[in-house]
Amino acid sequence: MFMKNRLSRLALAVLGAVIITIASGCGSDRLSAVAETETKITEEQRQVLKRMDETAEQAYQSVQSGDLNATREKIAQLSVLTAKLHYEGITTIEGIQALSTSVTGSMHSLNAVSPDAAQIAKHIAETRLAVDALAHKEQPMWHEFKSPLMEDLELMGEAADQHDAQLANAAMRRWKARVSAIRPAVIISRDSVKATELDSMTSFLEGSARNQDWAALKEAVPALRQALEEIFSSGDRQTSSPLIPTAEPPHPVIWSLVIGAIITCVLAYVAWRKYEAEQGVSRVKKEKDLSQT
């Protein structure tokens, strides 16, 4: 009876999480629908997007060569262009916020009292990917991060098999840096649901590596691999670009809901298995203590 009650509570928890995922997906879909009501991109919008794309690339090249003055100038120009662009039919409200936050982060890092070269490069890379996602929806550069992230995930699985904390932590650092770089671009190209999925995956992987919970990590890797595949493949259905005067297809949310449910169920199952294991250890210790009295 106690086991049935526990399973019932687990089922309710999973159901509640899935409902939250569905609500989040539907909310994001409503925002996307507003942005996609205007599917025709004007010539003025295309020209501003082109200038933004060129300016972001120049900023990236400048920071790579170590010329912070040139980088600062280009980011300032980009800030003006982002304010000038009319975003109707290009991205969602969340996408606009992601772009604005990325550009602002770059400006703050460049204007810091003690500029940190690594932080500046990080913010400029995020901004470059965000602008590219806005201008090149048919083949955004952030899609190139799929293979490296898959490799990081595979290494996490290997670390779980070998109980190798050093390997897990190294893979985790690379994973976090790459996810951070593409997060604004994901929101711009897709929606915040995909970015939230990445955040959830990162939290789980980081927690498992920190606690050296190898069993949970090993069991979750296959579902996380499938979720990562979906995050990238969903963008492949975007076949138009704001730089080309064509209409974009409607954005479906069903896959976001399915993947969200899969992640939720897997993590809940892993948590339950961990709880069962802990209860088993507790019972063994109790029986041992009683036998010695």
For 231-266, the pLDDT digits (tens) are 998 544 443 445 544 333 344 444 444 445 555 555
Is 188 part of a structural domain of the chain? yes
Q: State whether 106 and 182 are in the same domain.
A: no
Same domain, 212 and 264: yes
Answer yes or no: is 140 within a domain: no
- What pLDDT digit, counting tens, does each position of 116-151 carry? 999 999 999 999 999 999 999 889 999 999 999 999
Are both 44 and 131 inside the same structural domain?
yes
Residue 187 confidence (pLDDT) above 60: yes
Domain boundary among 112, 135, 158: 135
Do 19 and 153 fall within a single domain? yes
User: Same domain, yes or no, for 149 and 20?
Assistant: yes
Residues 177, 89 within the same domain: no
Q: Are residues 168 and 199 in the same domain?
A: yes
Contact 91, 35 (CB under 8 A): yes
Q: Which residue range forms the structural domain that includes residue 58?
A: 38-135
Residues 167 and 273 in one domain: yes
Mean pLDDT, range 285-293, rounded to an integer: 48
Q: 64-110 pLDDT, tens per residue?
A: 999 999 999 999 999 999 999 999 989 999 999 999 999 999 999 99
Q: What is the pLDDT of residue 19?
A: 37
**Number of domains the chain is built from:** 2
The model carries a pTM of 0.70
* Residue 175 shares a structural domain with residue 269: yes
Q: Which among 106, 135, 164 is the end of a domain? A: 135
Give which of 148, 268, 256 is closest to 204, Cα–Cα. Answer: 268
| Long-range residue pairs from 155-161, CB within 8 A, at least 24 positions apart, any chain | 156/205, 156/208, 156/209, 156/217, 156/221, 157/217, 157/218, 157/221, 159/209, 159/214, 159/217, 160/208, 160/214, 160/215, 160/217, 160/218, 160/221, 161/214, 161/218
